[in-house]
Amino acid sequence: MQFASRLDNVSTSAIRELFKLLGKPGIISFAGGFPDAALFDVDGLREASEAALAENPGLALQYGATEGFDPLRAQIAHFMDGKGVDVAPDGLIVTTGSQQALDLIGKTLISPGDKVIVEGPTFLATIQCFRLYGADLVSAPVDGEGVRVDELERLIVQHKPKLVYLIPTFGNPSGATLNAERRRRVLELAVKYGTLIVEDDPYGDLYFDKAPPPSIMALSKDVPGSREHLVYCGSLSKVLSPGLRIGWMIGPAELLAKSVMCKQFSDAHTSTFAQVTAANYLATGRMPDTLAKVRAVYAKRRDVMDAALRRELGDAITFTRPDGGLFFWVSLTGANGALADAAVLARQAIEQGVAFVPGAPFFAENPDNSTLRLSFATADEAKIEDGIRRLGVALRQSVGG
């Protein structure tokens, strides 16, 4: 077949290839980015979906507005208000997962050859999606406190990007959180250079010890003129259910209008049934309890993985303990450089019955082969202990110890 030339810029993800190996029986996987299905609020969602059919089935099963189901937009606006973001219901659109918001951003804003700054590392699907639209991606370095804003400014000046894409809170895969001072700096850069900042925030509610700094969009109140340069993508996937496919985008009215037009070309609107269900769910007020429950379970798992990593891999690795989200981002810095390639370790780990994702594919430029991502979300505490012990065995085997 003669495929469109835009497909030349993207390839099947290396991670998907790895996932094919995960079918092996008994494997403990830290590889996925899924939330734990055992934590889904099935009772709450059953009630919400039954109410959707009982109360107004004709509406729940009918075509709907592309912008989204108005009562859900109102619920999301209220949810965002609780997080310090002032937005009217018609100041946001509902998307089919936040992934669709990212796609609409690519579709509406990126022309072939446009420079786009992303974090190094960043969300793999964003790299693929923006490249599909021909973006020339530039990677801004990230440390334990999120993106390095000094470097970000230098890259903005050098490349004059169409947009900057950040996952400032419990980043995927970095686990890092941008500190409040850097968030303010990002807002100042947005104003100074007229740069559009896309804040992707599917993990911000998954905090463990204390709440993270307010989102960049929430902080925009303090930096005059910054809000018009901001786009925010939110999602119910990591906190409630990814199968619902409910995400949203907040941004300048003209961007939302173009996005609505483009959304009409692909899925007409996000599933009405899912939207009515989500609106009913949010209206019941169950969300705070659901959040408290998932935070407590993931916090425990984070602690267990943290201790196990220190015990089993010790000085062969470095990492920063994440304050929320789903991931540890680890660098193979020890073993006197004998183990610098996480892809080699990944193969050895599969032999030992444990899987993780090597970090290199998460870099749009200059991949760091010594990095890897471990999710603590789906394995229970005993499996985390066992899996990290297996990883320690794989590591010692890899360095011939």
Ligand X SMILES: Cc1ncc(COP(=O)(O)O)c(C=O)c1O
Stretch that binds ligand X, among 45-53, 95-103, 283-291, 306-314 (CB under 6 A): 95-103
Partners of 282 in beta bridges: none
Minimum distance from residue 55 beta carbon to ligand X (Å): 26
Q: Does 375 bind ligand X (CB under 6 A)?
A: no
Binding mask 168-207 for ligand X (x = CB under 6 A): ----x---------------------------x-x-----
Question: What is the residue type of 202?
Answer: P
Minimum distance from residue 249 beta carbon to ligand X (Å): 11
Nearer to ligand X, 99 or 352 (CB): 99
Minimum distance from residue 352 beta carbon to ligand X (Å): 26
> Do residues 333 and 318 touch, judged by C-beta distance below 8 A?
yes
Distance CA 257, CA 96 (A): 16
Q: Which position among 169, 237, 270, 378 is part of the footprint of ligand X (CB under 6 A)?
A: 237
Q: Which position among 29, 49, 75, 98 is part of the footprint of ligand X (CB under 6 A)?
A: 98
Q: Does 212 bind ligand X (CB under 6 A)?
A: no
Q: Does 114 bind ligand X (CB under 6 A)?
A: no
DSSP H stretches of helix in 9-69: 14-19, 42-55, 57-60
Scanning residues 12 to 51, which ones bind ligand X (CB under 6 A)?
Answer: 33
Q: Which SS3 state, helix, strand or coil, does residue 264 take?
A: helix
Stretch that binds ligand X, among 96-104, 282-290, 369-377, 388-396 (CB under 6 A): 96-104
The structure tokens listed for 376 are 């603590």
- H/E element holding 319? strand 317-319
> Which one-letter DSSP state was computed for residue 246?
E
Q: Which position among 177, 220, 235, 272 is part of the footprint of ligand X (CB under 6 A)?
A: 235
Minimum distance from residue 208 beta carbon to ligand X (Å): 17
The structure tokens listed for 177 are 């959180």
Q: Which position among 99, 277, 371, 375 is part of the footprint of ligand X (CB under 6 A)?
A: 99
In the bound complex, which residue of the shown chain has the CB atom lying closest to ligand X? 97
Q: Does 270 bind ligand X (CB under 6 A)?
A: no
Distance CA 94, CA 73 (A): 7
Minimum distance from residue 172 beta carbon to ligand X (Å): 4
Q: Does 325 bind ligand X (CB under 6 A)?
A: no
Distance CA 244, CA 77 (A): 18
Q: Which position among 35, 168, 247, 387 is part of the footprint of ligand X (CB under 6 A)?
A: 247
Q: Which position among 30, 69, 123, 328 is part of the footprint of ligand X (CB under 6 A)?
A: 123
Q: Does 213 bind ligand X (CB under 6 A)?
A: no
The separation between CA 183 and the C-alpha centre of its own chain, rounded to angstroms, equals: 18
Query: Residue 57's CB: how many other CB atoms inside 10 A?
Result: 12
DSSP H stretches of helix in 194-316: 216-219, 253-266, 272-284, 287-312
Nearer to ligand X, 105 or 342 (CB): 105
Q: Which position among 97, 353, 361, 387 is part of the footprint of ligand X (CB under 6 A)?
A: 97
DSSP H stretches of helix in 82-214: 97-109, 124-132, 149-159, 180-193
Residues 368, 378, 123: CA angle, nearest 5 degrees: 35
Q: Does 371 bind ligand X (CB under 6 A)?
A: no
Minimum distance from residue 297 beta carbon to ligand X (Å): 18
Q: Which position among 168, 212, 214, 242 is part of the footprint of ligand X (CB under 6 A)?
A: 242
Residues 189, 194, 197: CA angle, nearest 5 degrees: 65
Minimum distance from residue 179 beta carbon to ligand X (Å): 19
Distance CA 275, CA 202 (A): 18
Distance CA 213, CA 154 (A): 24
Nearer to ligand X, 52 or 244 (CB): 244
- What separation in angstroms does the CA of 325 have from each of 19, 116, 249, 377? 21, 25, 20, 9
Render the burial of 191-227: b for 16+ CB within 10 Å, e for the rest.
Answer: beeebbbbbbbbbbbbbbeeebbbbbbbbbeebeebb
Stretch that binds ligand X, among 68-76, 235-243, 283-291, 355-363 (CB under 6 A): 235-243
Minimum distance from residue 317 beta carbon to ligand X (Å): 23
Scanning residues 133 to 172, which ones bind ligand X (CB under 6 A)?
Answer: 167, 172
Footprint on this chain of ligand X (rule: CB under 6 A)? 33, 97-99, 123, 167, 172, 200, 202, 235, 237, 242, 247
